[in-house]
Structure 1
Amino acid sequence: MSDKITFTERDFLYFRQWLCLDIKSVTWQGKYSSDFEKFWSIFFKDSSSLTEMSKRFTYAIERSKVGPISSWFTWLRDKFICYVFIEKRISLSLLSEELDIPFQVIARILRNFLAEVFPHHDEYLNEVFLVTNKVSKNIDINIERIVKEIGEELNFSGSHDEEVMTSMEVTLYEDWAIFLKKMEKDFGVKSLNLSQVNTSEQIRSYLQTFSNVLAIVGVTIFLVWLVEFANRNYEKYLSDKISIYEPQFRWEDKGLKFTEDQLGANELANFELDVGDIENVDDSESLLGEALEDQERVGVETDVVLTSLESLPKDFDVADTEQSLYEEERTSGYRDSRYGNTKVYRVMMRSSDTERANTVLKDLLKRYDVSQVDNVAPGLSVPGGYYYNLYVPRTYLKEFMAQVGEVDTAIIYESRTRTRRNPPGKNKVFIWVKSI
């Protein structure tokens, strides 16, 4: 089936127009336009099959070392899936089979895209793309059935005005040039074989590791030999510079003979040593005539007065690791007030059901009269979740933050920045809902 679903150069050109890329921003005001055009011509090769394109997207996502580039390729793949579903008029099951991607993932991608195009048909799209297994009734859903049931026309582009990925400067990263060079080499074959590419990379990685180990061992052996060689030469140098005196002994004179001591035993017995003067010495006075008397010495320790017990820490071992009162009262919050005068709040939320979290948060925005910052619409869909940049009335701030904390697992950060000050009576709140 994969040979029947192929794409011509014209198909890829229409996909690029449908995508509404901001080429000037992507190529950094045209500075890297040649690199981007080279990437597009190699990646979207004429007469490529759908299966081949799936392999290429998998290759690009797995080998992008920089997060923004990997996110951009993921976004590009999702848009391509929606484009194929709409333009080729194929079913969800066939699309999943050709792309070798689980049908649940395909259904989620299509549902998110069409929900942005037809937000007033959100409930219908949730129901029709609820595909849990291969025997689901909507496993063979296609675009023709959808537009017929909702009564809409297919006159829309692939990106909306607030989408940030259409203008992301991916060509500005150094990893882009490295990826482009490697992609050009790997895509030179007639058909991309991911297993063969992975095997080659593993072998190359093993060889690189082995060469590094050999280099380390070689350097270590050389250093040991160098130290030993230096020690030998230094020892030789010292032995040449230092001369050790060795006494010269003459041969014994054969004519010399020992004689016995002529001093008799009686004379030794009658020998007396006059020690009387030594015993009469008085050591109670010094040479200057002063009397030396024993005196008792008393050592006085210095007294330390504690003016206040409150000045001492509770525990000297943890004196520098105690939490502030703010962090003790708010176990899921962190305060950073080192910089700036403008107080902002950041909420990092993780959710297994981002759609539900997004719906609940939008209800909270209406309830507490929360407004958006600049032209960023609340609940902006980005790869991995949803993003909110809000102004919350100060009178409802505490209650609003408490309600947000109950939506799903969340951590609230309070910090101060040097950005422009908050409007009167409002506080800026950032919310990032990450899908897990």
Structure 2
Amino acid sequence: MSTVDKNLTSFIDIAKDSDFSIHNLPYGIFSETANEQRRAGVAIGEQVLDLSILESEGLLSLEGGPYFDQPTLNAFIDSGRDNWTTARKTIQTLLSTDNKDLSDNQDLIDKALFKQADVTMHLPVQVPGFTDFYSSKKHATNVGTMFRDPSNALLPNWTEMPVGYNGRASTVIVSGDDVVRPSGQLKPNADERPIFSPCKRLDFELETAFVVGRGNNIGQPIAVDDAIEHIFGMVLLNDWSARDIQKWEYVPLGPFNAKTFASEVSPWIVTMDALAPFKTPCPTQEPKPLAYLNEKETNNSYDINLSVELMPENSDETTVVCETNFKYMYWSMAQQLTHHTITGCKVEVGDMMGSGTISGPTPDSYGSMLEIAWNATKPVSLKGGETRSFIEDGDTVIMKGYSEKDGIRVGFGEVRGKVLPALNFNFDK
């Protein structure tokens, strides 16, 4: 894992509160317009550095390449940690004030640097599989309290293993994509048959997701103390949820259509090397996990500040409805990945695995509207006078995240999605 050189600075002007310092260098896929050629870049300040140009100019040469004149990052990620390390060190050097290979070459700067505001961002990886966990103890306790006996909020298996389910990789979308309100079966009256209707309780779930950087062979689990070496980086995740569809369908086999319509991620993958300085312990796990989940590493989580803002249609004012931190997660990413593979399940490069809703200890740190408005009993006031219990048509949800320590900031940017009205189904045709 990387160490921080606090004296490292870039020749590019970067605001102190920028998520994209020279200590970050997250990877993404961009194009100059929506339909032009996609290729890889890193975010630096308010700009994107085109890695395919550096590669073609011979300034970024990696074993087995080229890798960056491609529409996804999968091949680069699959090339292995040695290339990850070399690429990061090379890019940092090229962007530093002490190196003139890029800073003194205006023609190359003109070809390789783009304003982020002027480019289109795309899904950074081809996602073979998507899994979502349920690893915030406070979130699980809140939901269990609402819908079961509060004294039995957590089911017995919750503190024994990272609970999760396999979702739909086909509906992982990138920040900025609109989300169509889903329709499905609802059961508003317990004594009557269900109805078909647009979802009336659309919710966000504030999550992160990790991107698998190295797979395994089928039948060969990943050991918990090796698991972090199988993780390339992290993104923000808004795991959109249809709470009323979910309530009717989830017994007996868990989430299905309520969770398959959109899982929206930020476009920049922040590497684990960039996040290494912000490691912190997970909460105390009681009972002690079984041996295969028992990590030697004690700093097995990350101090990442997270927030959610809501912006109604026809408004440019946002209201912060949640501020929390990734460090509250009960189960670590290494434990999640190990448990996922313990039966011999094969994971692949580019797989995304959601953390589960990240809720902190106080109501203003809850990571979903279900909790914040406490199942619609405590509506949230927005700037401008409106209130919300769940997400309405035209609302935009914006999630942000960053780590900061000793003047070093590493951030994710944002994941932003606007809700469009449900489709108008006509079943009489």
Q: TM-score range by the shorter chain?
A: under 0.3
Larger Rg: 1
TM-score, scaled relative to structure 1? 0.21
Relative contact order, CA 8 A, sep 6+: which one is greater?
2
TM-score, scaled relative to structure 2? 0.21
